[in-house]
Structure 1
Amino acid sequence: MAHRVTGVLIFFFLFVHVLDTALVRVSPQAYDTVVSTYKNPVVNLLEYGLVAAILFHALNGLRVVAVDFWAKGPKYQRQMLWTVVGIWVVLMAGAFYPVLQHSIRLLFGS
């Protein structure tokens, strides 16, 4: 279920991304205005969520491929799921400061 949810979330991000990027062809000033509204801590937190969704979707996708194409995949799917979750947690911990540094500096000063 999480794989499908992250896939839908990534799709919606890509849809919005294409729309706001296409705005540059209509009016560069409008594009700059829209992009400037993204520079706040709430959107920065959503960016961290996007990183989380992409990483989980990619790692879990590899697990799904292994389950489908490896003869022993179904037998080890639970262990592979926990491996994916463990790797995802480590990568998300590593992405915490690089992704959220703008908001951390805004909230706590630098």
Structure 2
Amino acid sequence: MLIFFFLFVHVLDTALVRVSPEAYDDTVAIYKTPVVALLEYGLVAAILFHALNGLRVIAVDFWSKGPRYQKQMLWSAVGIWFILMVGALYPVLGHAVREVFGS
């Protein structure tokens, strides 16, 4: 659902540049707010977990030992997801932190 909403908004704001460049600039300014940065981080989290869990499901379905190791693969996927999300903190939220704390 988040991905659909993101794509819908992205298409609309990109189309807005043809209608009114000033309105487009105002819209992009809204995207630089801390609230939108948190939503963006949530979107990254959802997409990344979905991808890692999809790989786990593929392994369970197509690897003969997959069902036996599905719990371990789940926790491995969660661990990898957590490490990658910690790594995504600064790239995704860095501009919001700078805006809030003014550095």
TM-score w.r.t. the length of structure 2 is 0.87
Quote the Cα distance in structure 1 between the aligned partners of 2:9 and 2:64. 40
RMSD (Å) for aligned C-alpha atoms: 1.5
The answer to which of 8-17 and 54-63 deviates more is 8-17
1:108 is aligned to 2:98: no
Unaligned runs of 5+ in 1: 1-7
1:9 maps to what in 2? 2
1:80 maps to what in 2? 73
1:47 is aligned to 2:40: yes
1:70 is aligned to 2:70: no
- Aligned amino acid, residue 64 of structure 2: A
Shift of residue 27 of structure 1?
Answer: 2.9
TM-score w.r.t. the length of structure 1 is 0.82
Unaligned runs of 5+ in 2: none
1:89 maps to which of 74, 78, 82:
82
Distance 1:92 1:36, change over 3 A: same
1:25 is aligned to 2:22: no
Shift of residue 42 of structure 1?
Answer: 0.5
- Aligned amino acid, residue 68 of structure 2: K
Of all paired residues, the percent bearing the same amino acid is: 78
- Aligned amino acid, residue 29 of structure 2: S
